[in-house]
Structure 1
């Protein structure tokens, strides 16, 4: 599906939007519920990724195809490895077979698991024969994707001896690790995070517990971007959010102050208001703890003619696509003066904003959604727009609710 987005006649927006539960929290909660059936979940994400995760957790034997869901690949690897009696082949899309899992597989093998590569060493598909894992100590590089780390932490309380995980080097994506540990604390699993060592004690049973999933902050980022590109006085209320969020992307509330967007918290929602215009010509952010919002910020800056230098982006090269190269290509098509390395992005200030450019999405939901707010500045096309269902199936409907002109192209 190809969509055409055009600038609305009125760029003063006022609306209420309800966003589905966080994909990250939902996937963690689903795995914990599979380990401890006394857990129930509220506000579960309606994303493709959560559906794939839920389906995979119900499988004991045969092939599990998680399509483009990288989180499910990492989390299910740990889950199946720790479940005695399971015998599954875990696979996914062509892109998924190019995304490395070796670091996680090696760690699980050191804990006693039985995992073999079906094709290429270090990459899916993988054959997993579940076993009882008795080893307690293992280490991982500290600068890898937090999903590898969380995969081990989530199964840790179900292991006979728990887990002592040493992170070697400088730790990145700390908020996602803390999100996992926060959920473990909610179910009563004793854990600690001191220096570079995380300990999780074994827990055989969990009392009846309700895990309420906060709405997704990554999804909120696109509305922050929309407001940054709107007229002063625009406001959007987003539900359901909390001030002390477990999600690292909640840093949006601070970052978008630089774009004149103010965030007010209530018990159940956040109110975003456009109260001013950006003041600086060039912005700098270290996004090591929130890399998923890099695309949104880069697109916002481009739409405003603001330069930016984004660092801490080393994990973006192994996402649904190489997000840094994708940004370089697609923003470049729209007229941006942009350069990238393997972990940084630099955008020069520019007033160039080409019209009716067709943006390729590379099977990446965030490419489609990050570029969509630019419709407030120019008309554009989004190719393969249905990719948003990976994390936010209602995205295009919600944009139409904001009176943005979204129509299917010929």
Structure 2
């Protein structure tokens, strides 16, 4: 399904409710499978979390997680410790191109039995669950945090716990801290000192408890983009959010101040307001190593505002649903941008105009669809394969329509 966005104007003072963080939900769903006495409120309704939940309760041998990269990583670790169970985990054609060797090698160091069914280093995988008795693993510190979190989430169920050493400069620290904070919140003892993370075994049953997932900050990014491209004094309220968040993408509140957007924290929600215009001659420099998922939204915002921007710390974007750096360059240049990319950076030069009636390819990537949608405030635009948003934000288009977007 393609969606045509006619040039739109936001209804002011709108309120939107966004469901729970996909990142928090998927971690807690796995922990709930390990510790069934845990209850969870405000779980994400994203495709990824629905697939994660179904996989965790499934008793079939074949598990297909489609495009859900987080689920692939987390479930590989989970099924490795399901003693005497044999599982084949697979996914979409793109998933079979996304590397998983680093995680598989780490699990094998702990004693896991995993084989590749097609290409070495890539899904699908055959996993024979067993008790893992080794407890020490070393990884390069700049690997995807999902590999690290996958190991940490199962660590308390290992006979001797886990001691994970990270070599070099650590990236994506907020996602690692999110995992450790959630472990701590259910009663698992952890430590993170310099480059060593330890998780103690927890053979005893934890106390029954209910945890509430904070709303998704990545999903909030598209509303930050909207407000940044709006007239001064436009505002919108979205919930439910906390001032002290576990999510790395909450850095949006600070970043978007550069674009004239003020964030006011209320009780369980935030109000975004375009408080001022910006100097169009300013140059924005950002290191997004701790929040790479918001790079697409920021790039589109900067382009729409006619600014120049340098972003670094983007090395993980090449192994997402698509090569996001190449995809961004391709689609922004169709709109009239001048973009230079490397394997870990993006340089967007200032543009005075935005080409109209351009069709944006989404590459089966939910964030491509949502990141480019706010440009509908500037020019008519078409989003190809628009229903891909269901991966993380199923009601995205309904919410955009409710706040004044003219969609066909």
TM-score class, shorter: over 0.9
CA distance, structure 2, for counterparts of residue 11 and residue 186 of structure 1? 39
Cα shift at 1:139 = 1.1
CA distance, structure 2, for counterparts of residue 267 and residue 186 of structure 1? 22
CA distance, structure 2, for counterparts of residue 151 and residue 213 of structure 1? 19
Name the residue aligned to 1:211: 211
Name the residue aligned to 1:319: 320
CA deviation string 1:240-277 (max 9, x = no partner): 00011000000000000001100111231111111001
* Residues 288-303 of structure 1 mapped to structure 2, 5 A cutoff: 288-303=289-304
Q: TM-score, normalised by structure 1?
A: 0.98
Change in CA separation of 1:62 and 1:11 when aligned onto 2, cut-off 3 Å:
closer
Name the residue aligned to 2:222: 222
In 1, are the aligned partners of 2:10 and 2:404 still within 8 Å (CA)? no
Give the secondary structure class of the aligned counterpart of 2:148.
Answer: helix
In 1, are the aligned partners of 2:292 and 2:317 still within 8 Å (CA)? yes
Name the residue aligned to 2:157: 158
Say whether 1:50 aligns with 2:75. no
CA deviation string 1:117-168 (max 9, x = no partner): 0010000000001000111111111101100000000001111111000011
Q: TM-score, normalised by structure 2?
A: 0.98
In 2, are the aligned partners of 1:60 and 1:85 still within 8 Å (CA)? no
Name the residue aligned to 1:385: 386
Give the secondary structure class of the aligned counterpart of 1:387.
Answer: helix
CA deviation string 1:70-99 (max 9, x = no partner): 000000000000110221111000000000
In 2, are the aligned partners of 1:141 and 1:168 still within 8 Å (CA)? yes
CA distance, structure 1, for counterparts of residue 183 and residue 65 of structure 2? 24
Name the residue aligned to 2:232: 232
In 1, are the aligned partners of 2:11 and 2:404 still within 8 Å (CA)? no
List, as ranges, runs of 4+ consecutive aligned residues in structure 1 with deviation greater than 3 Å.
none
In 2, are the aligned partners of 1:11 and 1:231 still within 8 Å (CA)? no
In 2, are the aligned partners of 1:281 and 1:349 still within 8 Å (CA)? no
Give the secondary structure class of the aligned counterpart of 2:61.
Answer: strand
Give the secondary structure class of the aligned counterpart of 2:105.
Answer: helix
Gaps of 5+ in 1: none
Name the residue aligned to 1:24: 23
Cα shift at 1:12 = 5.8
* Residues 2-401 of structure 1 mapped to structure 2, 5 A cutoff: 2-8=2-8, 10-11=9-10, 13-204=12-203, 205-279=205-279, 280-401=281-402
Gaps of 5+ in 2: none
Give the secondary structure class of the aligned counterpart of 2:156.
Answer: helix
CA distance, structure 2, for counterparts of residue 220 and residue 86 of structure 1? 39
In 1, are the aligned partners of 2:25 and 2:43 still within 8 Å (CA)? yes
Cα shift at 1:60 = 4.1
Cα shift at 1:352 = 2.2
Cα shift at 1:315 = 0.1
In 2, are the aligned partners of 1:359 and 1:382 still within 8 Å (CA)? yes
CA distance, structure 2, for counterparts of residue 397 and residue 134 of structure 1? 49
In 2, are the aligned partners of 1:12 and 1:233 still within 8 Å (CA)? no
In 2, are the aligned partners of 1:60 and 1:87 still within 8 Å (CA)? no
Cα shift at 1:7 = 1.6
Change in CA separation of 1:322 and 1:156 when aligned onto 2, cut-off 3 Å:
same
In 2, are the aligned partners of 1:162 and 1:200 still within 8 Å (CA)? yes
Cα shift at 1:59 = 2.8
Cα shift at 1:61 = 4.2
CA distance, structure 1, for counterparts of residue 277 and residue 295 of structure 2? 20
Two-structure CA RMSD over aligned residues (Å): 0.8
Give the secondary structure class of the aligned counterpart of 1:158.
Answer: coil
Give the secondary structure class of the aligned counterpart of 2:321.
Answer: coil
CA distance, structure 2, for counterparts of residue 396 and residue 11 of structure 1? 14
CA distance, structure 2, for counterparts of residue 123 and residue 75 of structure 1? 15
Equivalent residues, number: 406
